[in-house]
Amino acid sequence: MQSAQAKHALIDAGRWLSEQGWVPATGGNFSIKTEQGFVVTASGHDKGALQPEHFLEFNIEGTHTGGTGKPSAETELHLALYALSARTHCILHTHSVAATVLSRLTTEHSLNIQGYEMQKALHGFTSHLETLAIPVFDNDQDIPALARRVAEYHAHTPVRHGVLIRGHGLYAMGADISETRRHIEALEFLFNCELTRRQLEKNA
């Protein structure tokens, strides 16, 4: 994908994600692999009103090659997630209420979900009986250290659809922007179902 095409695809995704309420304020960041490397949103912009000048370009090694905005501190985490899987070509980072709250309620290293038909919307799932395990990592302002922890986790349990950062949000991954958008929509549905189920059980 060319850089210009990638930017327009992310502008459209940003508008859609903003309409869902999943990237409040200037939260979130998006990226796509291109023929030249990566296109990533610059820091501090409303993701529902992105323009082509709101993106930065990096080569495959992560060196800044284009764009004049301020790089997000989380750009390095995007690059680390791409390094984990050759299949991943798009990452969309969001800040929904359900994902953020569930990430804090979950004390384990993964959020395990089972029994929902919507799991089959995720790449590789064919049954609601399978367990979906989304890794959960403690938030850290030291992004290189956080990226290393994600890579260490992946070494024994592959990161497939995304990761949750505790009290922060979701990084969804996919083979292209269409699959990543589908993964976000399915995961957010599952997060809402799981959060509602826990609330009902607590109040029963």
Task: Note every long-range contact of 146-150, with CB atoms under 8 Å and residues 24 or more positions apart, other chains counting.
Answer: 146/77, 147/76, 147/77, 147/79, 147/80, 148/80, 150/77, 150/80, 150/81, 150/84
CA distance 128 to 46: 36
Burial class of 190 by CB neighbour count within 10 A (0 to 12, 13 to 18, 19+): buried
Q: Which stretches of the chain are DSSP H helices?
A: 3-20, 75-84, 97-105, 143-154, 177-203
Residue 62: left if φ>0, alpha if ψ -120 to 50, beta else—which one? left
Is 64 annotated for ligand binding? no
- Residue 116, phi then psi, degrees to nearest 5: -110, 130
Q: Nearest-CA neighbor of 17 among 30, 4, 34, 8?
A: 30
95 among annotated binding-site residues: yes
| Residue stretches of the annotated binding site for Zn(2+) | 93, 95
| Residue stretches of the annotated binding site | 93, 95
